[in-house]
Structures are given as C-alpha cells and as structure tokens.
Structure 1
Amino acid sequence: MDRKLLDILACPQCKGPLQLSPDQQQLRCPRCRLAFPIRDNIPVLLIDEAQPWDPAEK
C-alpha cells in the first residue's frame, strides 16, 4: 500500500491513525482494536466490515 495513502487514512470510528498489518492484508486501529480488510489493494473502511483485533497478537 502506498505510504502517502496510509498517512491520510483514518479510522472511521475514532478518526485515529491506522497501521498496516505485517501481511499487508489489513489496516488496524490500535485505539478501537479493529482491523479493516484490504481487498484488491483497496482499504474497506466500513465499521460493519471490521473485525476485532487484539494488539497483543501482532
């Protein structure tokens, strides 16, 4: 994912910064503990599509 795009994207719930997962398949919000999928190189930033994420899992 393009770093410039990642810098401007924000969590749709808390408006906080997102982090790219190590496998580059999700954008993760550490505040909300939600993981948003990336499908066909397009981030799906819909709260209904998010999955719970535990930051301790890495």
Structure 2
Amino acid sequence: MDARLLDILVCPVCKGNLEYRKEQKELVCKPCKLAFPIRDDIPIMLEEEARALGADEA
C-alpha cells in the first residue's frame, strides 16, 4: 500500500483517520468500527463494502 495514499485517505463515514492492517488487507476506522477492504492494492472506500469490527478487534 502506497504510504502517500494512506496519508490522504480518511473514513468516508466520519472523515477520521484510518489504520492500515497489512495482514488483513484492510483499512480500519476505530471510531466507526468498520474495516474497508483492499483488493488488488485498491482500497474499497464504500460503507456497504466495509465489514463491522467485532468487539475483540477494535
């Protein structure tokens, strides 16, 4: 994942910062408790494509 891209991406729901989780290939918004997938090095920043984080993941 390109570091410059990570610097400018924000959560589409709350506009908060995202945490990159390389192993899971996801961008995580902790306040919204959503994980946005990264497919073929492209972040999918659609709320309907995000998965809800479990209580143990936040």
TM-score normalized with structure 1 length? 0.88
Q: Which has the higher helix share?
A: 1
Count of aligned pairs: 58
Q: CA RMSD in A?
A: 1.6
Structure 2 unpaired stretches of 5+: none
Identity of aligned residues (%): 52
Write the distance in 1 (CA, Å) between the matches of 2:55 and 2:35. 10
Q: Give the equivalent residue in structure 1 for 2:45.
A: 45
Write the distance in 2 (CA, Å) between the matches of 1:9 and 1:36. 11
Structure 1 unpaired stretches of 5+: none
1:13-52 alignment, distance < 5 Å: 13-23=13-23, 25-52=25-52
TM-score normalized with structure 2 length? 0.88
